[in-house]
Amino acid sequence: MTAEELLAGVVIPIDKPRQWTSFQAVNKVKAIIRNRYGLKKIKIGHAGTLDPLATGLLLVCVGRATKEIDRLQQGDKIYTGTMVLGATTPCYDLEQPIDRHYPFEHITPTLLDTVRQQFIGKIEQVPPIFSAVKIDGQRAYTYARADNTEAVPASKQVHVAEFDITAYRPGSMETAGEAPQTTENKQTEPNKLHRYNNPVNYIPAHLPQLDFRIRCGKGTYIRSIARDIGIALHSGAFLAALRREQAGDYNIQQSVALEQVEAFLDGNETIVKSEP
């Protein structure tokens, strides 16, 4: 691919690794492009932020494709992942350890299915305090890091088109003393300055877990859905794993790993160009 083609506009679908921020992934692509083509000035951005502990499809827009970011963000997203029931964390995922435990023995597949249906269609949700949503002009996470418990993001309406529970593993207090289940902790080039590069990497073995597939609109926080599922179950819940499988017309099968970006630019990977 030539520098002219890049400047004309290209979308590079990245498979973002765990423990990378979307910003770090974009900066990695930017560094590759600058070093390869000697371009000091080139516009690069992304369409739809992924949480640091999430993996999957991140659309990196280069050159004139940055003008398409708003349009690309309007498309539905498909996520798969795992929620853990019977406990909560302050950030609704594994960036921080469990802070409370709740009863879960009453949770059945029938109850789960009833609650699941409450989260399809237009729903109200409050974004996590550990998020980039703004409160009075500042990012919510700045309040969270300052332990400001009074700052709460405003609730908003989002749309969930599909919500399927693909597997359920009931917990048992009989296994409460067993060794915790470890979670995947793969990372490339870790940045030790960020707390999410030292996440909680285990889940108590006795807690129930459910796997899910969600198709939703722009601005939906899956972490908030997990938290709200726990409340609706009269228990607790947090997100243990999340992967974006699709964003609009782009899917994970089209994506390349960060270490494959140069091959993508060589034309050895499928090139997905922005629409004119």
Backbone angles phi, psi at 185, to 5 degrees: -135, 55
- The mean per-residue pLDDT over the stretch 68-84 comes to 95
Give the pLDDT score at 271: 47
Distance CA 128, CA 92 (A): 7
Query: Worst-scoring range by mean pLDDT, 16-25, 94-103, 112-121, 140-149?
Result: 140-149
Integer-rounded Cα radius of gyration of the chain: 20
Q: What tokens were used for 114?
A: 């009833």
Give the pLDDT score at 40: 82
Active site residues: 51
Per-residue pLDDT at 108 exceeds 80: yes
Instruction: Name the band, by pLDDT with cuts 50, 70 and 90, for residue 150.
Output: low
Percent of the chain clearing pLDDT 70 (strictly above): 77
- Which residues does 271 contact at the CB level (< 8 Å), separation at least 6? 1, 10, 264
Q: What tokens were used for 146?
A: 């300052």
- The mean per-residue pLDDT over the stretch 91-108 comes to 93
- The mean per-residue pLDDT over the stretch 116-132 comes to 85
- Tens-place pLDDT, residues 186-239: 443 433 334 444 555 678 889 999 999 999 999 999 999 999 999 999 999 999
Per-residue pLDDT at 99 exceeds 50: yes
- Which residues does 66 contact at the CB level (< 8 Å), separation at least 6? 9, 43, 44, 45
When the pLDDT of each residue in the chain is averaged and rounded to a whole number, the result is 84
Give the pLDDT score at 273: 41
CATH 3.30.1300.10 assigned to 3-74+249-273: no
Give the pLDDT score at 172: 76
Per-residue pLDDT at 132 exceeds 70: no
Per-residue pLDDT at 159 exceeds 50: yes
- Tens-place pLDDT, residues 27-60: 999 999 999 988 888 899 999 899 999 999 999 9
**Burial, 248: exposed, middle or buried (Cβ in 10 Å; 0-12, 13-18, 19+)?**
middle
Containing H/E element for 210? strand 209-216
Give the pLDDT score at 155: 79
Instruction: Name the band, by pLDDT with cuts 50, 70 and 90, for residue 142.
Output: low
Containing H/E element for 36? helix 22-37
- The mean per-residue pLDDT over the stretch 125-136 comes to 68
Q: What tokens were used for 116?
A: 């699941």
Per-residue pLDDT at 175 exceeds 90: no
Give the pLDDT score at 1: 85
Angle CA(92)–CA(113)–CA(178) in degrees, nearest 5?
55
Same fold, 3-74+249-273 and 77-247: yes
Structural domain boundaries in the chain: 3-74+249-273, 77-247
Give the pLDDT score at 104: 96
- The mean per-residue pLDDT over the stretch 88-99 comes to 90
Please tell me the class of the 77-247 domain.
alpha beta
Per the CB < 8 A criterion, the answer to whether 275 and 11 are in contact is: no
- The mean per-residue pLDDT over the stretch 56-74 comes to 94
**Beta-bridge mates of residue 210:** 83, 168
